[in-house]
Structure 1
């Protein structure tokens, strides 16, 4: 097996060299592009605050595949297995509900100490951590509003929760030596005809201004805001719309989060990247796969995933775009979902890195669109898979579909007994 991988790799190197693509350099660069894997795929967004509580805020994890993680020990064990099957650098994205505490801690009272175990674990596994306040699935979000709530007391609670979350995010960055990207998403909106669309957005803007007022070291913490088109229970009006979040991020100089499932069915975030980068300092991407709505299916190596990767690589956005995943499929093995989705994102980045971008851009500038299309299509058939297999081998992770056998063994011996 190893010899056949080596033979294919050497042939692929030559094929790519023939079009002036250095695949060794591509693999070196791929090793600098971490993908932030989301913890909530492992337990259907339950968390540890109240894991038996129901999801709200338009969030729904569908399916009842056996073996989901029930506590922090099980979740970390599942994550560790997934990380062992994914080559290259990774990060972990945490929500506030994944705290560790004796007894209930209100969300506006969370502190770094409640996540110290995650920091120790991340340090031991050479991982960076990202963070999210959890503005859903709580009694004070039951009527569909949080940071834009008309009740000043409820609004204050969520402001304090987000402020506390920022301090935790900065703690992650300080302790681990890599900045934590903290993303604010709220489910605020209305189900039916909305008369006053302005006042909630005014309150939301003022609340966000309070949240980010404390100056934090950008070497440790990065703020981001995320828009959404609609949600279950907020079909007619979403306070944090695309226009709102783009305007807020650009005017405040913070990162904008583009989630692949948060736009109209005919919209794609790949086309938004170049426009948004003109106005915001950084982008956070939530790569997901919507099927007719924001259903957060497992990421495929499909056209849009590839287009997202191409935009990052073609425009050298390595230091300004942060790549995260956001899906939660409870209908299949949850560890397999992580592995499939994360490997696919990394495959897309590799395919973008071995594209002859310089030649394609030159043909475009010359107006030779015939040659541009011809070369672009020919590159799709080049042996990028052999390069990927070599990358997996270099990182000592299973090549091809061999990783599934490891997941099945773990399922048989560990997760199926939960």
Structure 2
């Protein structure tokens, strides 16, 4: 059946397949040399690196209180964040074009909800203090259901947040246990309803499918819960066993089986069918929305090749074809901010070939598809094979994946790039 769709993200942004390419500047080189803004949307991603516990499957740049000790805290992180935002605003102010209004903000992690409503309000205030927000800006925060409450959502709504993304993962207790998730199965649905009651029109629930031990019945239980929650957006990702995680060690020792590709593909088809029947339509391979307004505009900014500032430890930024990534540890991040300049660990100026690769990788995953005019001449023979194998179709002037093609999206990209 092929491979189920996946989404590789680091610090809230999709990672480049071209990392390590010739455009990369050593981490100890001068700070990023910025060019100018591109023509797309401009967003701000804020990385909150704190978690109460470490999930067994997670390889994101996150830290528990025990891991940090006294080297960093939410207070020192927020102070450093304010400094980075001020520095970035000054650097952008020196570019030829005026800094665009911020159209989207996404606060991710980690577990942003550990900051509480007041803490997250302070994060948004820090962005506002340094950048102009568009009148219709989308402002999202991720939250762990266990660290939310009706009062929490009411505080966020009053602060100016417009969208909530809740990590549900599964409604089956034994699946959550394998993932080392700390919330109880029913809490995600309750949190989603509390967010809606607080005035949030746009609420997302995240699912992970293909966890060792998960059955079709477990997945159906999760989908029943998602639909009962009345959310207008769902993200569903197949489990990836990342090197260096507790889950990877268990799989390597034979304590848990590795996810099966055919099972993952079948689960994806099951998810898509249930969500489509409920009126949620896919707009990116791993994301479904009830209508256009429910789509995550911040993520669309990544997929459409826009510009964004990634603030916080380990966050990635992209402006006008220049990408940089911050130092990872919160204490070292704060030290770098205090020294002045952007707290980058390294940067790269993307070549035309790298930008083409990333454009193809991301755009082909969208329901709107990849403009045929954007394909290099060398891709035309592969294009003919993709069309002949019913992996994609031509819709207007765009190449759009078929249902079968969505299961093989990564392979299609590789063929088109060969």
Work out whether the TM-score is over 0.5: no
* TM-score for both structures, normalised by structure 1: 0.41
The structure with more helix, counted as a fraction of residues: 1
TM-score by length of structure 2 reads: 0.41
